[in-house]
Structure 1
Amino acid sequence: MNIERIHHVAYRCKDAKTTVDWYEKHLGMNFVLAIAEDKVPSTQAADPYMHIFMDAGGGNVLAFFELPNSPAMGRDTNTPEWVQHIALKVGSVAELEAAKTRLQAAGIEVIGITDHTIFKSIYFFDPNGHRLELAADVGTPEMYAKLDACKREMLEEWTRTKRAPKHAAWMHDHSLHA
C-alpha cells in the first residue's frame, strides 16, 4: 500500500454556514464541496448531517460535519485544549505575522508568535472551539538532520521512562542552539 496524502480530515462543527464563512474570511480557504444525507452511508444510521469540505492547500482538505440531531458539541475534558489542534503551514514568517495582525484586528485572540526553533507559529480558536495553529518553517537542514538522528532513541527512552528525553531540548532552550 502507498499512502499518497491525507484525503481529508473531518471534525464536527456547530453550524456549517458559519464555519464556511469563517474559514473563507479568516484563512482564505475555498469552500469546495458539500454533501448532505439523512442516513450515514457507512452505518445506515438515521442521522441527518451536512458535510462541508474546505481547501487547505496542496491537495489537503479540511472537512466538518454539522449534526443537528446530536447533543451539543463538547470537548474531551481529560485532554488539555492545547493538545488537539489543526496545524496549517504558511509560506513565511512575514505571512505568519500578517495573519496574526488580521486575526487580532477581527477580534480573534491569538497566542504567539511562538518560536519552536524549526518553525514559528501562532495559535487561536475557530468558532467551533477547535484550536488552530499557523506555522512557518524556519529550520535548517542541519537542525532537521539532528532531530532525525535522535527520534528513535527519544521514543524508546520515553517509552521506558515516560519522562521527556533531553535530546532535542535545544529547540526550546535558546541558549543551547547549535
Structure 2
Amino acid sequence: MELKGIHHLSAITAKADKNFDFYTKILGLRLVKKTVNQDDTSVYHLFYGDEKGNPGTELTFFEIPMAGRNHDGVNSISETSLRVANDQALVYWKKRFEDFNVDHEDISKQTGRSALSFKDFEGQRLTLVSDENNDGVKGGTPWEKSPVPQEYGIRGLGPIKLTVRDAQKTINVLTEIMGFREKGRYPSSVKGQPDILVFETGEGGTGAEIHLEERNDLPQERLGRGGVHHVAFRVDNEEELREWITKIQAVGFHNSGYVDRFYFRSLYFREPNGILFELATDGPGFDTDEDINHLGETLALPPFFESQREQIEAKLKPLNTRR
C-alpha cells in the first residue's frame, strides 16, 4: 500500500470557454475529457493532461459560473506545479508568457530545480518546474498535436504546495497514515515564517512531492475561482483502494467510502486542517469510452448518467472543444 505520486488536481473556474482556451491554446495541454461534475451535473468538469491523460498528468476544473474570486489563505492547496523536460524549456515558456501577456515571474531555483511561477486569467497559482535532474516518477508524454513543441510540452503535475495553520497535524497524516517520508526543507519567502517542508512518496521526485508551508499570518482561505478544490494521490488498483478505505475508516476520518468515477475509482477524506484529499486508482482511464484520437471533443457521460443525457445537455452552455 504505497501511494505512487500525485494523480490529479481539481480546481475551480468560472468560465469554461476561457479556461479551455488558456489551458489548450497557451499551455498546450490536451483536453482529454469534457464531462460533468458527477456531484452536480449542471456544470462542466474538464480534464486536461498529456497525450491520453495518464495518471499524474491530469489538471481538472469544475466550472462554477457564479463563483467569486478565491481569497488566498491557510488550510488550502496554495500552488500547483507543472513539469517540463529541462531548464531550456523554461526559457521557451518565459518567452511564450511574454508573447501571450501571461502574468509571470522570473526563472528561479526551488529545491534545486529551476522554476517559473505564473498565473492564469483567474489568478490560479501555477509554477513550471524543470525535470532536468529528476530521478523519480517519470513524466507523461506531451501531445504531439499541441500548439507547444513536444520537447517543451508540459509532462504532468509536479510538487503540490499545501499552506496550513498547524503543520504538525498534516505531517502526522502524510507520514503516519499515508506513508510519505520527509525529504528536506527550504526557506519560506516570507520573513519570520518556518521553513517549507518537502515530503515524497513512491519513487519520489518531481511527480511525487508535497510541499508543506505553515503560516500564522494569513486568514482562512475562501475557495472560489482561481482556487483549488482537492488533490488526488495515485493508488495502483481497485483492490489496493479498498485496503486504503479500511485504513482511513479505522483511524476515524470522515470519508466518502468507495466512489466510482468510471474513469477511476476514488476515496475522499479531509485531513485535520480541512484540505480535501482523494485517493484514486490509475485506471481504467480516459480512453474507456472515447476513441484515443478524439478525446474531449464531445460531452462524455459515464454509463450511470447516459439515460439523463438530454436533460444534462439542456442545462449546459455549449462549449466547442472540437479541434
TM-score with structure 1 setting the length? 0.72
Sequence identity (%): 22
Aligned-partner Cα distance in 1 for 2:191–2:223: 28
The Cα of 1:150 is off from its aligned counterpart by 3.7
- 2:263·2:285 contact (CA, 8 Å) conserved in 1? yes
Q: What are the residue-to-residue correspondences of 1:94-133 with 2, within 5 Å?
A: 94-133=239-278
- 2:231·2:277 contact (CA, 8 Å) conserved in 1? yes
Q: What are the residue-to-residue correspondences of 1:34-113 with 2, within 5 Å?
A: 34-36=185-187, 40=189, 45-58=190-203, 59=205, 60-68=208-216, 70-72=217-219, 74-78=220-224, 84-113=229-258
Amino acid at match of 2:222: D
Structure 1 pair 18–143 and aligned structure 2 pair: CA distance change class (3 A): same
Secondary structure of 1:97's partner?
helix
Aligned-partner Cα distance in 2 for 1:63–1:125: 17
Secondary structure of 1:28's partner?
coil
TM-score with structure 2 setting the length? 0.42
Any stretches of 5+ residues in structure 2 without a counterpart?
Answer: 1-88, 90-151, 309-323
The Cα of 1:36 is off from its aligned counterpart by 4.1
Amino acid at match of 1:169: L
Structure 1 pair 12–150 and aligned structure 2 pair: CA distance change class (3 A): same
- 2:264·2:285 contact (CA, 8 Å) conserved in 1? no
Structure 1 pair 148–49 and aligned structure 2 pair: CA distance change class (3 A): farther
Provide, for residues 16-72 of structure 1, a one-character-per-residue CA deviation record: whole Å limited to 9, x for no partner.
2332222111111111112345xx2xxxx534223111103342211111113x034
Structure scoring higher RCO (CA < 8 A, sep ≥ 6) equals 2
- 1:16·1:52 contact (CA, 8 Å) conserved in 2? no
Aligned-partner Cα distance in 2 for 1:123–1:147: 28
Partner of 1:168: 300
More helix by share: 1
The Cα of 1:130 is off from its aligned counterpart by 0.8
- 1:16·1:50 contact (CA, 8 Å) conserved in 2? no
Provide, for residues 137-158 of structure 1, a one-character-per-residue CA deviation record: whole Å limited to 9, x for no partner.
332685165366141x34xxxx
Aligned residues: 153
> Aligned-pair RMSD on alpha carbons?
2.8
The Cα of 1:11 is off from its aligned counterpart by 1.5
Amino acid at match of 1:22: V
Secondary structure of 2:195's partner?
strand
Structure 1 pair 175–139 and aligned structure 2 pair: CA distance change class (3 A): farther
Aligned-partner Cα distance in 2 for 1:57–1:145: 30
Is structure 2 residue 291 aligned with structure 1 residue 146?
Answer: yes
Partner of 1:163: none
The Cα of 1:98 is off from its aligned counterpart by 0.8
Aligned-partner Cα distance in 1 for 2:182–2:285: 34
Amino acid at match of 1:129: G
Give the alignment partner of residue 134 of structure 1, picking from 273, 279, 282: 279
